[in-house]
Amino acid sequence: MSNAAPARFNRHGVWAIYRFEMARALRTLVQSLVTPVITTSLYFVVFGAAIGSRLTTASGISYGAFIVPGLIMLALFTESLSNASFGIYFPKFTGTIYELLSAPVSYVEIVIAYVGAAASKSIGLGLIILATAALFVPIKILHPGWMIAFLVMTASTFSLFGFIIGIWAKGFEQLQFIPMLIITPLTFLGGAFYSIDMLPPAWRAFSLFNPIVYLISGFRWSFYGTADVSVAISLSMTIGFFAILLSLVAWIFKTGYRLKS
Amino acid sequence: MTKSYASGFQALKLVNLDINKGEIFALLGPNGAGKTTLINIICGIVTMSSGSVIADGHDIVRNYRAARSMIGLVPQELSTDAFETVWATVSFSRGLFGRAPNSNFIEGLLRDLSLLDKRNSRIMTLSGGMKRRVMIAKALSHEPQILFLDEPTAGVDVELRRDMWNLVRGLREKGVTIILTTHYIEEAEEMADRIGVINKGTLMLVEDKKELMKQLGKKQLTLHLQTPLTQIPGELAPFNLELKNGGADLVHTVESASSVDISAMLQRLSDLSIVIKDLQTHQSSLEDIFVKLVSERT
Ligand SMILES: Nc1ncnc2c1ncn2[C@@H]1O[C@H](COP(=O)(O)OP(=O)(O)OP(=O)(O)O)[C@@H](O)[C@H]1O
Ligand SMILES: [Mg+2]
């Protein structure tokens, strides 16, 4: 048996984890596809047709079209969080994490693989929702490059967030805790289904403390060219959030927090 | 190295150990002695409190990539994926440890472990013994030069245990260094080149197995007498004899180093008309040595 000197970047290792995580989704491919398509269609039936027909938006876009970016973002948040947190929590739960900890992979590689896989899945999902939505309402994308950029950045950020939650969580209920109690409410209050311009001034000012507002606003701007807040702020909020999470994950691996005893 | 867990419990108290390249080293010790802790530190699963470990010249912390690339681990607990196939999980391990895919190698490995016909089975459909073999296949998938087996034969049937012993010997022939823990003394006795005994976080002894057997191995010859004796006749004084069992048994203890002329002793007995009904010999095994060590020094 012979071992060559190990490479500086363990690409085989990253690829192995990435493939493993993607295979997990492929095993439940039908579920992963059908569920979002049905959910999106339901949103359109309820919000787009039933309620939306009585609402108009300031920018002259139909309400149905207006909520598409918000819907995609909502799915992106929840799917990224649940995919990534489950991906790392499960090996901790079953004990198979021993192999990851004993493998010659750096924490950067581990993060790239897990977060990359979770982000890929939710980006795929976002695109499926977009395609489904296009069946119901006319959609235009003014800045496709920025649209993809926001999609990728948001998916990566929330996957990284989910990854951290997965490491932190000590039980399955804790996995659900942050998504259910924080992200979903913030998304609903963050202009997924309305423009914060529609709100009374006091609420409006209050909304500006909600980071989700910036993410949704930036994403919606890439579609229709109108935004609740400046696109530059949206962009820097996303990048800033990502940077904070990166340093958190660096600290986790440095100290072995909830990974090693 | 030393290790105190977050609870404050000191699982390893200054352990100092050298493993020779290419040997089979058996680590023995009662439950909770610190065997798994020691192995998990070396493999990167537990962080040590102080000290350092060098694997083939690579510091396991500073140069973890080089060190871990050459180490394989079969942990004590059976933890495997459930939905993956045998083939997928073993290929995954190889990739994780930075090796390019090599289906010929994996096929050979699965054949050696009698898993080839299960290659496309999901792991959850396998029996416990098969799962253990899958874990061994995973540990060997990247062709490690150092292999840790943490109680590889716990809960394994006789046949699989034999298979495993053969596998380990085969690996040693290929130059792989093997460190195993076990509760089965016979396993250490049969397999190991050197033996370490650990108890309550302290390494009590590290010794060449043969030396150990020689030094501590006592041979006893028990003679069951026709008529019990009340005392040992003076003529028998040179022979290191004891009366046991109410005078019915005469026990001669051979310390390994000494060489007593047994035939002379038997001749003397016969001269004294002491009739021997039956006789029995006993050589202390590693088990006796182990029990003695662990009970004496605690
Ligand atoms: N994560 C942990 N936190 C606190 N104490 C621990 C932890 N893991 C192990 N210990 C303690 O450290 C001691 C050594 O445990 P270890 O698992 O190394 O023993 P062992 O020799 O492998 O035992 P066994 O033969 O039962 O496998 C035990 O007293 C155990 O309770
Ligand atoms: Mg143990």
- Flag whether pLDDT at A185 surpasses 80: yes
Q: Please say if the pLDDT value at position B236 is more than 70.
A: yes
SS3 content of chain A, % helix, strand, coil (to 5): 75, 0, 25
The Cα–Cα gap between B136 and B148 comes to 10
- How confident is the prediction for chain B on average, in pLDDT? 90
Q: How many CB atoms lie within 10 A of CB B185?
A: 18
**pLDDT by residue (tens digit) across A76-115?**
998 999 999 999 999 999 999 999 999 999 999 999 999 9
Same fold, B3-214 and B218-284: no
* Helices (H), ranges, A63-181: 63-94, 97-102, 107-136, 144-168, 172-178
- Say yes or no for a CB contact (<8 Å) between B92 and A16: yes
Q: What does the alpha-carbon distance between residue A21 and residue B198 come to, in Å, rounded to a whole number?
A: 40
Q: State the pLDDT confidence band at B88, using cuts at 50, 70 and 90.
A: very high
More confident residue, B87 or B269: B87
What type of residue sits at position B146? I
- Please indicate if any CB of chain B lies within 8 Å of the CB of A31: no
CATH number 3.40.50.300 is the correct assignment for the domain at B3-214: yes
pLDDT of residue B200: 92
Residue B46 has pLDDT above 80, yes or no: yes
- pTM (2 d.p.): 0.86
pLDDT of residue A29 exceeding 90, the answer is no
Q: What is the pLDDT of residue A114?
A: 97
Residue A1 has pLDDT above 50, yes or no: no
> Is any atom of ligand 1 closer than 6 Å to the C-beta of B35?
yes
Whether the per-residue pLDDT at B128 is higher than 50: the answer is yes
CB of B37 closer than 6 A to ligand 1? Answer: yes
What average pLDDT does range B248-263 have in this prediction? 76
Which of B80, B97, B174 is nearest residue A103 as measured by Cβ atoms?
B97
Strands (E), A152-243: none
Average pLDDT for A125-135: 91
CB atoms within 10 A of CB B127: 9
Rounded distance from Cα B80 to ligand 2 centre (Å): 18
Confidence of residue A2 (pLDDT cuts 50, 70, 90): very low
pLDDT for the residue numbered A28: 80
Chain A residues close to B64, C-beta within 8 Å: 104
Q: Do B79 and A94 touch (CB under 8 A)?
A: yes
pLDDT, tens digit (0-9, with 9 covering 90-100), for A223-244:
999 888 888 998 998 899 999 9
Q: What are phi and psi of B122, to 5 degrees?
A: -75, 145
Ordered by start, the domain boundaries in chain B are: 3-214, 218-284
Q: Which residue has the higher pLDDT, B210 or A59?
A: B210
CATH topology for the B218-284 domain: Alpha-Beta Plaits (3.30.70)
Residue B256's pLDDT band (cuts 50, 70, 90): low
Burial label for A50, CB within 10 Å (0-12, 13-18, 19+), is exposed
**Which ligand gives the minimal distance to the CA of B27?**
1
